[in-house]
Amino acid sequence: MLQRLLLSGASVLLGTALGATLPGLRSGASTGGSTEEEQERRRGLLDLVPVSPGASGAVMKYGFPSLANVKTRESYVTSYDPRTRTASWVIEKLSPSSLSGPSDRKYCDFKEDNSVHVFHRATNADYRGSGYDRGHLAAAANHKWSQKAMDDTFYLSNIAPQNPHLNQKTWNNLEKLCRSLTKHYLNVYVCTGPLYLPRQEADGKLYVHYQVLGQNHVAVPTHFFKVVILEQADSGGVELRSYILPNQPVDENIPLERFLVPIETIERASGLLFVPNIMKRTSSLQARTALSSNPRR
């Protein structure tokens, strides 16, 4: 049974099974099956992904949410959407060693991504005077271990138009929360991306409307998602937290737990898949939602 949740006027379908431990979730269900060619392609991509400092696991340990236009950087892996001029998703691996180091963002500049065709590329001019911040998907502060790693987070392909109040307040608090989790979990993987969600209008029909910026028509997301995969040191299990925030001012006094949603909500809205890949790596997946409790912050 599904219930409808309205997030800032956007209609999203949510599952009712919240906060449950999910042993073998979807393991018995068909996921479509990968062909040998696709499996070989995945293995080839894994050979290219970066490894976080001080850790042996690759960034993409829990698989690719999608395989279109995958790019690797010093500090993250991303899938770029040339239609929106932003990434579909960006994945990072956070650890205490990646969060500390000599890097300083004052030496970083927002820059075009020359690996993207000029027809499909965002520029700084697109953002100028728009009223939107250049919001990081992979956060600069997550990659202090290397100046090059931090520099890479300033490619405009890692940026999306973000409401200034959201970017500087609640979203920033969510990024800080992700960094703090490295103190309590063995490894922390973070996947971030934009969403373009429908809204019901006066005629009763659902429409997807979003603004575009500049001559290159950079899409302004209606919402952002963040999926956090947490490896538990004691049990060897995996905890999953998934958030959706509207791209508008959000009262920073609202607890971040209020923005937790079932992972299925993000999978349906984004066209990405997370759980099938995660379940290939663990037999125990615990999904935390607003109705579940956990003493670790």
Distance of alpha carbon 87 from alpha carbon 66, whole angstroms? 12
Distance of alpha carbon 274 from alpha carbon 189, whole angstroms? 12
The pLDDT value recorded for residue 282 is 87
Distance of alpha carbon 67 from alpha carbon 293, whole angstroms? 34
Token couple for 78: 């991303």
Q: Is 217 annotated in the active site?
A: no
Distance of alpha carbon 42 from alpha carbon 260, whole angstroms? 30
Question: Could you say which of 117, 136, 165, 223 is catalytic?
Answer: 136
Token couple for 226: 């963040």
pTM of the model: 0.81
Question: In 3D, which of 61, 19, 23, 63 has the Cα closest to residue 237?
Answer: 23
The pLDDT value recorded for residue 284 is 86
Q: Which 3 state secondary structure label does DSSP give 24? A: coil
User: pLDDT tens digits for the chain (297 residues)?
Assistant: 333 444 444 444 333 333 333 433 433 333 344 455 554 554 444 444 454 453 334 689 999 999 999 999 998 999 999 999 999 999 999 999 899 999 999 999 999 999 999 999 999 999 999 999 999 999 999 999 999 999 999 999 999 999 999 999 999 999 999 999 999 999 999 999 999 999 999 999 999 999 999 999 999 999 999 999 999 988 779 999 999 999 999 999 999 999 999 999 999 999 999 999 999 988 889 888 765 544 344
Q: Determine the number of helices (DSSP H) and then strands (DSSP E) in the chain.
A: 7, 16
Q: Per residue in 76-106, is it b (16+ CB within 10 Å) or e — as a string?
A: bbbbbbeebbbbbbbbbbbbeebbeeebeee
Q: Is 182:96 a contact under the CB 8 Å cutoff?
A: yes
The pLDDT value recorded for residue 37 is 56
Alpha-carbon distance values, 109 to 82, 86, 146, 292 (Å): 22, 17, 15, 41
Amino acid at 252: E
Segment (H or E) for 285: strand 284-288
